[in-house]
Structure 1
């Protein structure tokens, strides 16, 4: 099978129709060029050029092979370019894990927007889940990074890089027509007569666990609750007057037409953290973009 070098040499001669000029263009001497073309013709078992003392012309087979050689060189160049881009993190997939209560972080989303603008061929793949599952996926290499709203123990973080994005306090989201809508702050005990909208127990989210813990400490029975599969649906249900939601500040900050009231219970604030294990150029750039936004 012929080599890339043979194709390059052949194309140079085919375009110049002169061995001397082709050798100069390739920055080699003429004898190795002539030998390479001879070897190529022997491998193909066809004559590619008609040569005499005055001129060099392509044969019919040479004309056909010329187009094929151009296509093969273009494909090889494209493949090499993709490999280099992949090594630099410009192509391929970036796998980001997130907990439902953390993906609304403007620090993360603005950093991702800049990253994708710089690397338009990069494919962003998002993976919903809870903190424990994401930490496991980071260690196994299934995820490149994860945005988590939870307390991460030192043992759980061993071998991973943590980037603190800020504290995420909890807010009570209420329909504007609700009797509590004018309160400056609320305690969970103030919600004893209300229906709370919660994430499903089966998802084992940190937010659900946190609300359960704070409610137990406040003496609030979680009997009157409604499990809602996702946060977007929670906002719709609050708008419809079906209940009250307790959600992080990043969710409360997005436009939704609801009233957001700070939750005053001690321990309602938790850190928002970007956790990463991979050291690819694209992950390191994401970390840099995130840190820049935290400092600004």
Structure 2
């Protein structure tokens, strides 16, 4: 039996999130399909790639080695599929702006891939808050902006949303809520809460909290995703944050688990913005088409997180 691209994608998804059930959700397939693929790889290699625990899985030493090979193979396939056509090469300059969260947890990988596809387009990137991005697009200081589209206010802008990153409850390993058959905002309201504030995260959170008679018991407000991650991992509180910024480990090496809430929590929408009515340059068209093909193409095998 030969390894397949599908098996490698399923394996890397499980390795990244640490839970087969969550990997299945992100891949939009059944949990049994993911489990079968991982088992087939392990049988082929005659080695265990994961240690199974009650609340997830962890890579074994062999699993970590195999993950590096899987990444290399998938990267090579991706590069081959997206090899630029030198005869139709686009040239030009492009100035874009991105908010903190988008720039830190989503954009760098895509900038690298875009540069491979369009080596003759010079891209200049600015980090800015949403209000400054919107003003810069209207005044044409920026050609395009990558941002959290749910927050956009100015009607002079055209907005194209590429995907919605699910928000889930983050808890420390062995947290008592992991034993509950279901978890609601009422359960969360009883826990010390870590409120992320960067990119208007607090305002977005309070919107869905305000639709209930509940309030989070906020013990810390922070603009640092890593501070929020560490606080949760060390058992100092819980937080509802998006999959895009999720990583299973804190900087101290402590585990973070996620829980799907029964209540409907709006996703964090990410997309592209530009001033209405403008003529697109070839570079702008290429940039927009890259994201449309990657996220809006029905045949895309994207992931819901920063690394496709």
TM-score class, shorter: 0.5 to 0.7
User: What are the ranges of 5 or more consecutive residues in structure 2 without an aligned counterpart?
Assistant: 1-89, 250-254, 301-308
Distance 2:183 2:103 in 1: 22
2:31 counterpart residue number: none
1:268 counterpart residue number: 266
- In the TM superposition, residue 268 of structure 1 has moved relative to its aligned partner by 2.3
Alignment of 1:152-171 (within 5 A): 156-158=154-156, 160-171=157-168
2:257 counterpart residue number: 259
Distance 1:99 1:264 in 2: 29
Q: Name the SS of the counterpart of 2:138 in structure 1.
A: helix
For the pair shown, which has the larger CA radius of gyration, 1 or 2? 1
Cα RMSD of the aligned pairs, angstroms, is 3.0
User: Quick check: 1:199 aligned with 2:196?
Assistant: yes
2:112 counterpart residue number: 113
**1:111-130: per-residue Cα shift (whole Å, max 9, x none)?**
32212234388354241423
**1:95-123: per-residue Cα shift (whole Å, max 9, x none)?**
32225268534xx5543221223438835
TM, length-normalised to structure 1: 0.57
Distance 1:184 1:268 in 2: 22
Q: Name the SS of the counterpart of 1:224 in structure 2.
A: strand
Distance 1:199 1:109 in 2: 22
User: Quick check: 1:239 aligned with 2:233?
Assistant: yes
Count the aligned residue pairs.
Answer: 199
User: Quick check: 1:149 aligned with 2:143?
Assistant: no
The match for 2:185 among 188, 191, 195 is 188
Change (3 A) 1:170 1:285: same
**1:39-85: per-residue Cα shift (whole Å, max 9, x none)?**
xxxxxxxxxxxxxxxxxxxxxxxxxxxxxxxxxxxxxxxxxxxxxxx
- In the TM superposition, residue 191 of structure 1 has moved relative to its aligned partner by 1.1
Distance 1:270 1:262 in 2: 15
Q: Name the SS of the counterpart of 2:269 in structure 1.
A: strand
Asked whether the equivalents of residues 100 and 128 of structure 1 are also in contact (C-alpha less than 8 Å), the reply is no
Asked whether the equivalents of residues 167 and 266 of structure 2 are also in contact (C-alpha less than 8 Å), the reply is yes
Asked whether the equivalents of residues 189 and 217 of structure 2 are also in contact (C-alpha less than 8 Å), the reply is no
Q: Name the SS of the counterpart of 1:273 in structure 2.
A: strand
User: Quick check: 1:88 aligned with 2:69?
Assistant: no
2:292 counterpart residue number: 291
**1:209-268: per-residue Cα shift (whole Å, max 9, x none)?**
12112222222224433111221221122222222121112223x443411222332352
2:202 counterpart residue number: 208
Distance 1:184 1:136 in 2: 46
User: What are the ranges of 5 or more consecutive residues in structure 1 without an aligned counterpart?
Assistant: 1-86
2:172 counterpart residue number: 175
Asked whether the equivalents of residues 98 and 129 of structure 1 are also in contact (C-alpha less than 8 Å), the reply is yes
Q: Name the SS of the counterpart of 1:271 in structure 2.
A: strand
TM, length-normalised to structure 2: 0.55
**1:178-199: per-residue Cα shift (whole Å, max 9, x none)?**
1113456532221122222113
Asked whether the equivalents of residues 101 and 247 of structure 1 are also in contact (C-alpha less than 8 Å), the reply is no
Distance 1:197 1:208 in 2: 10
- In the TM superposition, residue 168 of structure 1 has moved relative to its aligned partner by 2.6
User: Quick check: 1:249 aligned with 2:243?
Assistant: yes
Change (3 A) 1:137 1:121: closer
